[in-house]
Amino acid sequence: MVAVATVPLIVTAQEADGFDGYIQSGTCAAPTDALRVSLDDETDHDIEPYVARTGTGDETVVLGYAGAPGAPGFGFSAIYTDEQFSLVIADADGNAVACGDILQPDVDRFGEAGIAVVQLLPVGDADLQGVAIVERAPLERELDVTPTRVRVLLASGAEIGAAPETTAGFDGFIQGGTCEAPADRVRAQLEGDSDHDVEPFPAQAPGSSELVNVAYYGSAGVPGFGLATAYTDEVFSLVVTDADSADPTGCGDILEPDDDHLAEAGLALVQLQGVDDASVQGFALIERIAMERELDVTPTRVRIIVFAPPVTGS
């Protein structure tokens, strides 16, 4: 059982119904007009507020902004060419509020995974910070280009640059109770394929062979924990621990989404906040995955993103 005092992360400072996005040629600092691919989603905006139920009456809270639109016509393999691309997030008036260079992931670790993590930083006076996971989606027969999906997670009001110094990574577990009032009846350890559940995501800096850390990223299973359990009267939270010291550095309560479609789809967004003096900020996406015949509980996967210090020189 781990009791932690979290530092609130304000996400409603920049009120908006949502944001749209596009991929452009060039970097955020030096864009070009050679290419512009608008993200495409079936909702009003590519990225919309994620509203969760607090469990107190009808009270709800906005945990952040999330979306998983496609990028029609943009092939993931383009990232591994000599061309440079960047991802722009814009408000309803078309003004850029966040941007991130799409850097080539470390080939040795992520070259075959079809995943690139993009660090999104504010543009001008905007206060948005976040990450985007650009991933290769399953090929559809009628398409000539392997489809690409862009999963965007944004926080408003986060302290830019308030991120942990370089670390080997993080591990995690789901516990019964909230971050501030945990219970000892449940503790489900995350289990990933790497040394740690969440590890640095190195990418190649523009115009250089140097590797920079754009975020801490991981995808791990939670054996024995079904997401539907979190939609009962029971309360659970996700704890992130430092890989070296095993001390808790971040925590987030697992809240039921206010959107019934998300609940039925088996998705829940968790806002990770720093524990005590720790500067960990980020999100976790808990999702139900396909049932395996030999399991009694529908398996659950947790994707964790922890913000890293801003990459400079791009």
Could you give the residue ranges of the DSSP H alpha helices within 49-149?
107-110
pLDDT at position 158? 63
From the list 46, 32, 118, 38, the residue with the least C-alpha distance to 79 is 118
DSSP 279: -
Check residue 55 and give its pLDDT.
79
Alpha-carbon distance 120 to 123, whole Å? 9
DSSP line for 220-260: EE-TT--GGGGGSS--EEEEEEETTT--EEEEEEE-EES-H
Contact of 116 with 134, CB cutoff 8 Å: yes
Sheet holding 199-204, edge to edge: 104-105, 199-204, 211-221, 300-307, 282-288, 267-274, 248-254, 236-242, 170-177, 182-189
Q: What pLDDT sits at residue 13?
A: 41
Look at residues 71, 17, 75, 21 and name the one whose alpha carbon lies nearest to residue 46: 21
What are the angstrom distances between the C-alpha of 82 and each of 23, 104, 237, 278? 16, 10, 43, 38
Collapsing DSSP states into helix, strand and coil, what is residue 273?
Answer: strand
Greatest distance between any 2 Cα atoms in the chain: 57
CB 9 within 8 A of CB 158: yes
260: Cβ contacts below 8 Å, ≥ 6 apart: none
- pLDDT tens string for the chain (314 positions)? 555 554 444 444 445 789 999 999 999 999 999 999 999 987 889 999 999 988 788 899 999 999 999 999 898 889 988 899 999 999 989 999 999 999 999 866 666 678 999 999 999 999 898 999 999 876 665 555 558 999 999 998 766 555 566 678 899 999 999 999 998 888 999 998 888 999 999 998 877 778 899 999 999 999 888 887 877 778 999 999 988 888 899 999 999 898 877 776 678 999 999 888 777 889 999 998 766 555 555 588 999 999 988 886 54
Can you tell me whether residue 62 is helix, strand or coil?
strand
Quick check: 121 and 88 in contact, CB under 8 A?
A: no
pLDDT value at residue 114: 84
Backbone torsion region of residue 246, taken as left when φ is above 0, otherwise alpha when ψ lies between -120 and 50, otherwise beta: left
Q: What is the pLDDT of residue 11?
A: 44
**What pLDDT is stored for residue 35 in this prediction?**
94
